[in-house]
Structure 1
Amino acid sequence: MTLYSFRVDDKLNLIAHEGDGAAFSELPLGVPYYEYYPRLGYKSVDAVAYAIEHGEPLSLAGYRLFCFHREKCTADIEIIPQFAGECRCCGAMIAVDIRSGCSVLGEMENAQALVDIGKISVTLAHGVRNPLNAIKGAVVYLKDKYGTDATFGEFAGIIDDEIHKLDNFITMFLSTSYLDARCEEIQLNDLLERVANLVTLQAQACQVLFKVEYGDLPVIRLDSFNIGHAILNVVNNALGAMESGGMLTLRSRREQDGEAEVAVVEIADTGPGIDYRGTKNIGGFPAAGCRKLGRGYGLFITGEIIRHHRGKLEIIGNPHGGTTVRIVLPVIPPGEMTQGE
């Protein structure tokens, strides 16, 4: 991606510039480019002047410079001479592609990712509502007709309950932030049991052995819908990683984190494990084109939900295969976490 580009005449004076941010449109023209952009060097001379003099494109790969935002960074730079007629070189176009080091560019990319998530989320919320209503009607019909079957009645009740939760969530999402806390005092193991009920049949279909290990946990205060959503995101990622079967373990325990008491939920799989070369951005914004399936926003959303609860998301990989994701939540005294925090 080109962060910015500009054109100069044969005297190196600016005649046009483009870039991300309103500041570029306010820069004056008719002055030497190096008064506003980093001066580019090549063979102890000005790189732009060199390209114009020789009339040949010049590429500067991995060039170290202070970027437009006055930060040290690495960039790929293309200097392309511009010609008037067939022979006379009348200037050059310079395109600067920042590769790394510019925190401002990183913030801009993160902001764009948030915008993309917002657009996708609103579209998804509206798109889900109509088929959700159809499913709700079908479940009511089936319950009336086959409600005497105990097993069917149990699972129909789960479906009905989850439809109700999802419908309420969509209504809330379209009217406010999905991270606005609706906190309540719950036993986290009860939430894990509901997650297990939802996942058991899916695990069987994937030929995955699924087991749950409940630890001794206190009653804690949290937004049960969003925390349940976060745990399901991780569980679904784990199931997706075990295409040829395996084992998925969901466990809970109480731990000490320094002087604070925390509740820990672990989701461990026996899949191929994580790519250690890409662990730096785990739980952050998904890089464009880095996911074979989906957009990679699930883990990012999970991380945001956990962060909003003042918790931590930890990913532990095993070089021989398998991944353990730890969701660490503080045991907050009742009333300390309030709506909107």
Structure 2
Amino acid sequence: MAGKILLVDDEEGIRSVLGISLSDMGYEVHTAENGETALRVFHDQRPQIVLADIKMPGMDGIDLLRKLKAENPDTEVILITGHGDMDLAIKSLKYEATDFITKPIEDRELESALEKARQRIKLRQQWRSYTENLEDMVRRKTDRINAAAEGDENTENGRFRRLFEELPGYVAVIGGDYRITEVNKALKCDFGIDDPGGIACYELFRGLDEPCDSCPVTRSFAEGGPCQEELKFTPDGGGRTCHMFAWTTPLQDETGEVSRVMIMMTDISPLLDLKDHLASLGLMVGSVSHGIKGLLTGLDGGVYMLNSGFSRDDPEEISEGLKTVKTMSDRIKNMVLDILYYAREMEMDKQPADIAAFVRETAKVVAARARESGVELIREVDKSLENSRITIDAEQLRVAIVNILENALDACAEDRGKASHCIDFRAFSENGGVCFDISDTGPGMDAETRENIFKLFYSSKRSRGTGIGLFITRKIVTQHNGTIEVESTPGRGTRFRIRIPYGQQGAV
């Protein structure tokens, strides 16, 4: 038996079909038609895995996820989404969802998500077993540590003191008043203390005046058993934030009372970063696959029109088909370039570049398409920048600006409410750097779109966009120590403003 699983969906047909598949996989399946019922079943059955639809009446999948994680952080929750629910899918990962699968659900995709959940459960059990063994060893030796603060390293106490000092991660022994009595070398070094001197753990780790709300030390004192928690610390006094996995174990005195608690912590920030990257990669594959499918459908339509035009000797249909093929090919090319720029680690190769030439060559990339679309492209470089240079990675910064210009062309082409359209691409000096200003007369954006355009996989173009381009644009600008701003009003066009500092060599 693979264990218990709770299936939550408001559609009876889906519960029935998925329930059969899950039973065939060896699971003991429990079902619920909504979030409220799911919570009751969860309390009764305590399944390790929950499979829930993300959109349900009343309590949706996100709310259910948050409640389940608050009650038992170890619960593995897999959410079922539709193709239009990418924003919700990203949000679910922020709330520690194990994975998401899209409708219609394929057995291979379902099994992959369940395998991920099983592996997480297995790794957690192995880690717990390992930690409990370490706790047992430390519990037997802790009294000897305190009795041999300066013990000879050749004695048993001295050797154990050295072992305690060299343990990886952070280890501390805390009394009932939350005062620290023992710390290992890593904790001393990273938190900048020579001697804990009875400092409270919440003061040292969090800079607080009282115990933390979610404190595994408090729970170990109260429950008399080991506890675990994910915590955020600032070991360098407020700079970088470390995500720590903390495990506590109670230490008993000779009467059997819990007099101290040992806490062991390890930095899991790199694992969380990797998790976020892999989650983003999974989202990208789903988003891009859906986008390419739409583009290929459009390409097929253009090829069909070409074949039909040639067979009937219809120049107008041939011209329309050729235009469709060219448009779809350009979009596929741009999508592939976006994916390549996103997938690889972008290393800057900054060199002095002539500003006027950079603007001229960048405008050339979209000039032909602007002419075909009937959009006037105005290019202007302020006279103060003539013969001036700026230290940039010209290739990558050009990609960033072309992404904006291409979006401006798309917006103008779709705006049928105006007789003509114009894109104004200007460069001028401002506050110790160069400002690249791009404005269009397109339909503009509403507040929600303005707020989300730089988010990964957000696209207002539906199937014609991947939601990668402007994310990459902001990343490139940031790597140039620059800033990017957007102003837009529905019906009145959009303006992007990129500011890039001249660089260490300054303007030449």
Shorter-chain TM-score bucket reads 0.5 to 0.7
Q: Is the 8 A contact 2:441 2:493 kept in 1?
A: yes
What TM-score results when the alignment is normalised by the length of structure 2? 0.36
Quote the residue 1:113 is aligned against.
280
Q: Is the 8 A contact 2:365 2:402 kept in 1?
A: no
Structure 1 residues 101-157: Cα deviation after superposition (integer angstroms, max 9, x where no partner): 984459877752345548969xx9xxxxxxxxxxxxxxxxxxxxxxxxxxxxxxxxx
Deviation at 1:310, TM superposition (A): 1.6
SS at match of 1:310: coil
Q: Is the 8 A contact 1:214 1:251 kept in 2?
A: yes
Quote the residue 2:421 is aligned against.
246
What TM-score results when the alignment is normalised by the length of structure 1? 0.52
Separation of aligned partners in 2, 1:268 and 1:274: 13
**Counterpart among 484, 487, 501 of residue 316 in structure 1:** 487
* Residues 247 and 59 of structure 1, relative CA distance in 2, 3 Å threshold: closer
Deviation at 1:188, TM superposition (A): 2.5
Deviation at 1:304, TM superposition (A): 1.2
Separation of aligned partners in 2, 1:186 and 1:314: 23
The answer on 1:182 being equivalent to 2:352 is: no
Separation of aligned partners in 2, 1:10 and 1:314: 49
Larger relative contact order (CA 8 Å, sep ≥ 6): 1
Quote the residue 1:210 is aligned against.
377
Quote the residue 1:263 is aligned against.
434
How many residues are treated as equivalent by the alignment? 220
Quote the residue 1:16 is aligned against.
47
The answer on 1:234 being equivalent to 2:401 is: no
The answer on 1:219 being equivalent to 2:386 is: no
Deviation at 1:281, TM superposition (A): 1.4
Q: Is the 8 A contact 2:421 2:442 kept in 1?
A: yes
Quote the residue 1:141 is aligned against.
none
Quote the residue 1:35 is aligned against.
none
Quote the residue 1:326 is aligned against.
497
Q: Is the 8 A contact 2:450 2:488 kept in 1?
A: no
Quote the residue 2:255 is aligned against.
none
SS at match of 1:200: helix
Quote the residue 2:121 is aligned against.
none
More helix by share: 2
Separation of aligned partners in 1, 2:345 and 2:65: 41
Aligned-pair RMSD on alpha carbons?
A: 4.4
More strand by share: 1
Separation of aligned partners in 2, 1:307 and 1:11: 45
The answer on 1:277 being equivalent to 2:277 is: no
Counterpart code for 1:182: D
Unaligned runs of 5+ in 1: 21-56, 72-96, 125-165, 336-341
Q: Is the 8 A contact 2:453 2:459 kept in 1?
A: no
Separation of aligned partners in 2, 1:271 and 1:98: 31
Deviation at 1:200, TM superposition (A): 2.1
Structure 1 residues 217-236: Cα deviation after superposition (integer angstroms, max 9, x where no partner): 34221111110111111111
Deviation at 1:240, TM superposition (A): 0.8
Q: Is the 8 A contact 2:449 2:460 kept in 1?
A: no
Structure 1 stretches of 4+ with a deviation exceeding 3 A read 4-15, 57-71, 97-111, 114-121, 287-290
Structure 1 residues 191-225: Cα deviation after superposition (integer angstroms, max 9, x where no partner): 11001223222211110111111023342211111
Separation of aligned partners in 2, 1:221 and 1:276: 34
Separation of aligned partners in 2, 1:68 and 1:271: 45
SS at match of 2:48: strand
Separation of aligned partners in 2, 1:208 and 1:287: 26
SS at match of 1:228: helix
* Residues 113 and 248 of structure 1, relative CA distance in 2, 3 Å threshold: same
SS at match of 1:242: helix
Unaligned runs of 5+ in 2: 1-6, 9-29, 31-37, 72-87, 98-271, 293-332
Deviation at 1:302, TM superposition (A): 1.0
Separation of aligned partners in 2, 1:102 and 1:324: 32
